[in-house]
Copies of this chain bind each other. A is one copy, B any other.
């Protein structure tokens, strides 16, 4: 039934007794093939289980029916987006190819430029960039960014209201009675991270609390990079009574560090995160956090990309969705 080696268009042509170009025409529904010939070719295709190679085809035709989703890695944030993206792409006629290009031997920064250069123009007709590390790239294909990078260029974009979300987070802590509130910042190059820091500062200022540099550390959005800064924040006499971490993963890591130091959460320390990834509610101490509508963000980004691809009018190039405070068990009043 199945060939040890995949059938190529040449195998199909030979078996059907026609030329390669005729087979190609049949595959691509081109005019100029006799009905009988076409049907014979189709029979052979089915019989051989032939599928055209995506790599070879794209090299030549530059239209593949495949959209790329470029992420650094498949972690909770990007996989939640992926669900929304996949949902919106269903029945669009496009397949999805999600590529994780970060973390490898090529280091971190610029992974999506590399991914895009490797895939675009050949394998994919358009792309969604998730938290890109740079702001400029090849413009051959339509691109939509989710949670974009700071910078000059501005591709169509989907994000959530990070500024107001961050303010809400800190106001929640203030409302509980906290005055000494630490901030574990995100990736400095991302607009979202900057806005969350800005929201933190605004909320403190509005409450009449002076900004204290020593209460801010960079957590980098990843658990691995958050341990050391979290410890710096907590392992000292004048430690904060509450920490706002720029995302859930680093918030959870903060709680873990706190517990290693013998602190109880939320008794000795309140922690609030950002994102509301599944891990937030599933953690042993369910995490209070600012929820982003991740599925919807994915859906909207995909709709935007599809509009761009079909040449439809795009009313808004920048879509910002609302966030929402979700109170769980990791925050309480101090004392």
Contact = CB atoms under 8 A, between A and B. Distances in A.
B138 A3 contact: yes
A91 B105 CA distance: 7
Most B CB within 10 A of own CB, among A1, A75, A96: A96
A52 B281 contact: no
A99 B103 contact: no
Given A79-B82, A90-B73, A122 B3 contact: no
Given A59-B59, A118-B52, A104 B93 contact: yes
Interface of A: 1-6, 49-56, 58-59, 73-76, 79-80, 82-83, 85-86, 89-91, 93-101, 103-105, 113-114, 117-123, 136-140, 278-279, 281-282
A140 B53 CA distance: 14
Contacts of A118: 51-54
Given A75-B83, A86-B73, A93-B105, A51 B114 contact: yes
Given A55-B58, A86-B75, A137-B2, A49 B113 contact: yes
Contacts of A103: 90-91
Contacts of A94: 104
Contacts of A123: 54-55, 123
Contacts of A137: 2
Contacts of A76: 83
